[in-house]
Amino acid sequence: MIWLVMIACGLFTFATRFVMFSDAAPRQLPEWLQDALGFVPIAVLTAIIVPAVLVSPEGGLALAGNARLPAALVAITVALVTRSVLATIVTGLVALWCLDWLVY
C-alpha cells in the first residue's frame, strides 16, 4: 500500500511540473486566478503567525501576560502605515524585547 501511495505522489508531482513546461498550460493565468493568488501570502503568514502569538507553550490560549500580543499589534500598525517588511520585523522585535524587559 505504501508503495502505491509513493508512486501516485511521484506521478502527481511529475505531472504538475511537466504541465508547466509543456504547451498544455496556458501562457497566462486567468485574471480571476491571478486575483485569488494575491491572497495566498497573507493567508499563509496569518496561519503561521497567529498560533505563534496566541498559543502558549502548554497549548492553551495566552492572552494575559503575553508580551507577543501587544508586540504583534505594534508590528501590524507599522505594517499598515509603512508597508515595509523590514520596518515591520524590526519594530515588532524591538517591541517584543522591550515588553519582555520592562513589563512582563
**The pLDDT of residue 29 is above 90:** no
Q: What is the mean pLDDT of the chain?
A: 91
pTM score = 0.64
**What single-letter amino acid sits at 6?**
M
CA pair distance 86, 39, nearest whole angstrom: 20
More confident site: 7 or 24: 7
In angstroms, rounded to a whole number, what is the distance separating the alpha carbons of residues 83 and 81? 6
Residue spans of the domains in the chain: they are 1-30, 39-104
- pLDDT reported for residue 22: 83
Q: Which residue has the higher pLDDT, 61 or 95?
A: 95
pLDDT in tens, 51-74: 999 998 888 888 888 999 999 999
3-class SS at 57? Answer: coil
Q: pLDDT tens digits, residue range 8-27?
A: 999 999 998 888 888 877 77
Q: Using CA atoms, how far apart are residues 15 and 49, in angstroms rounded to an integer?
A: 32
Q: For residue 68, what pLDDT is reported?
A: 93
